[in-house]
């Protein structure tokens, strides 16, 4: 099923005070974290939280999603997932690095935000071969996606097609794999919001 591009206008969206305060604290904790663990030693690179919040706000304001369930694929520090709860989405995050899962949960809990983070892979069971193939075909020096599947969806009690919105920040050479997985496993009508190396967001819908 193809993905169609949706336009969203994000520039005029002003951050509420509680959102701005949360992002300030998140930025502070992320910079402390990367001081000890440089980006090159890990697959974690944060997206621009203001831009992604504005995109989520635009999706909510225009009622573009079929429902309120959102999953952050590769949730890193969990900031996007936490911000989504501030817009009344029901949110979970799947992250392969345990240390990041713990830091995400601490940040969300400190602000009383109801997000569930699980340690594991967002690669759906059955898609390992597809992921391995994309890895093998990739000539890029840097590849941050871990291609194993595991029991993350079992732990959540959810399937990839239970989400109305998926957010991901893939490395450019990994975008085709993330898109292919979304196209194959997400629900018809679901939205894929991605952040990219141009510091921009892209919104697509899976259509029948």
Ligand X SMILES: C[S@@+](CC[C@H](N)C(=O)[O-])C[C@H]1O[C@@H](n2cnc3c(N)ncnc32)[C@H](O)[C@@H]1O
Residues forming the site for ligand X (CB under 6 A): 43-47, 72, 74-76, 79-80, 94-97, 100, 121-123, 144-146, 169, 195
CA pseudo-torsion sign 200, 132, 155, 40: negative
Residue 44 CB, shortest distance to ligand X, in Å, is 4
- The answer to whether 129 and 137 are in contact (CB under 8 A) is no
Q: Which residue is nearest to ligand X (CB)?
A: 74
- The answer to whether 66 and 25 are in contact (CB under 8 A) is no
What tokens does 32 get? 């402390």
Residue 59 CB, shortest distance to ligand X, in Å, is 16
User: Which CB atom, from 133 or from 208, has the smaller least distance to ligand X?
Assistant: 133
User: Which CB atom, from 179 or from 208, has the smaller least distance to ligand X?
Assistant: 179
Report the alpha-carbon distance of residue 94 to residue 187 in Å, rounded: 18
User: Which CB atom, from 164 or from 170, has the smaller least distance to ligand X?
Assistant: 170
User: Which CB atom, from 2 or from 136, has the smaller least distance to ligand X?
Assistant: 136
Residue 193 CB, shortest distance to ligand X, in Å, is 10
Distances (CA, A) of 100 to 39, 96, 103, 117: 13, 8, 5, 10
Residue 152 CB, shortest distance to ligand X, in Å, is 7
Radius of gyration of the chain (CA): 16
């Amino acid at each position: 099923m193809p993905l169609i591009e949706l336009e969203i206008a994000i520039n005029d969206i002003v951050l509420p005070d509680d959102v701005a305060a949360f992002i300030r604290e998140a930025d502070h904790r992320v910079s402390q974290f990367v001081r000890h663990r440089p980006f090159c030693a890990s697959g974690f690179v944060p997206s621009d939280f203001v831009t992604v919040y504005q995109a989520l706000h635009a999706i909510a304001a225009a009622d573009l999603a079929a429902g309120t369930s959102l999953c952050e694929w590769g949730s890193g520090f969990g900031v996007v997932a936490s911000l989504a709860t501030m817009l009344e989405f029901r949110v979970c995050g799947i992250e392969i690095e345990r240390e990041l899962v713990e830091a995400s949960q601490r940040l969300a809990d400190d602000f009383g935000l109801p997000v569930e983070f699980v340690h594991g892979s967002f690669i759906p069971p059955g898609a390992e071969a597809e992921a391995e193939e994309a890895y093998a075909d990739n000539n890029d020096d840097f590849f941050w996606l871990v291609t194993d599947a595991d029991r993350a969806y079992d732990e959540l009690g959810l399937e990839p097609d239970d989400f109305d919105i998926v957010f991901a920040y893939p490395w450019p050479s990994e975008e085709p794999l993330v898109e292919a997985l979304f196209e194959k496993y997400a629900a018809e009508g679901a939205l894929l919001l991605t952040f990219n190396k141009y510091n921009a967001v892209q919104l697509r819908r899976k259509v029948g």
